[in-house]
Amino acid sequence: MPEDLIYEGKAKKVFATDDPEILLHRYKDDATAFNAQKRGSWKDKGKTNATMSAAIFTYLEAHGVPSHFIEQVDETTIKTKRLTMLPVETVVRNVAAGSLSRLLGFEEGRKLSSPIVELCYKNDELGDPMLNWYHFRELGVSDEDLKFCEELGLKVNQVLAPFFDERGVTLVDFKIEAGRDTGGTLMLADEISPDTCRFWDKVSGERLDKDRFRRDMGGMEEAYAEMLRRVTEITQRGAVD
């Protein structure tokens, strides 16, 4: 399938194909943090993000969550539907960590009484600020789209929190994106990986996500490999319903 690079982001490259409605997302080993002020890379990061995203998108589809995912092409590449993306990042939080701890003055690790949904403006130059519906309306985002983003976030959380719990992992929080296909249908997009989620081991509390890079903890390659193992090995044994 011919490829034409149309976008290169901090962690992946996106290619057009000979089908105008299909894209290829190729995940890189590169990593960034703090709006790209910190940069690094480690072996097999792209493989983990692509393979784990493919497995989880498939699981979500089986549980009623539509997504752009079509199939995994190779270790680092997935094929997706081409979407017109909403300028919204939806963050869902189950446990206080990161910016939420700073915002509310909560100690990291405090379990929230119910999931908190945040809507952020996808704009690197502005640092992806958290906005309310009034701000998004001014930016031209409809209430219908905002409602979809919030409901999508809660649905994904409802499906994935027990999925990871069964694998000995607490889904602390995660970020997702959404877009419309050529028929106008809204659906889940982007990726679900240790880059976009906080994963803590249920017993030890060990961080198995990009916080290890953000906080100079080391062990990124091992943590990502462990998350991939927990997701794919159990899936291959048929434990995913």
pLDDT at 9: 87
218: left (phi over 0), alpha (psi -120 to 50) or beta: left
Residues 43 and 132 in one domain: no
Total domains, the chain: 2
Residues 113 and 185 in one domain: yes
pLDDT at 241: 44
Residues 28 and 112 in one domain: no
pLDDT at 239: 45
Residues 76 and 90 in one domain: no
Is residue 119 within 8 Å of residue 152, measured between CB atoms? no
| Residue 51 belongs to domain spanning | 4-81
pLDDT at 103: 96
pLDDT digits (tens, 9 = 90+) for 184-203: 999 999 999 999 999 999 99
- pLDDT band of 36, cuts 50, 70, 90: low
For residue 208, being part of any structural domain is answered with yes
For residue 156, being part of any structural domain is answered with yes
Please give the helix or strand (H or E) that residue 169 lies within, else none: strand 169-180
Check: pTM over 0.95? Answer yes or no: no
pLDDT at 31: 86
Residues 64 and 103 in one domain: no
For residue 129, being part of any structural domain is answered with yes
- pLDDT band of 30, cuts 50, 70, 90: confident
Using the 3D structure, point to which of 27, 55, 81 is the last residue of a domain. 81
pLDDT digits (tens, 9 = 90+) for 113-162: 999 999 999 998 999 999 999 999 999 999 999 999 999 999 999 999 99
For residue 18, being part of any structural domain is answered with yes
Residues 206 and 107 in one domain: yes
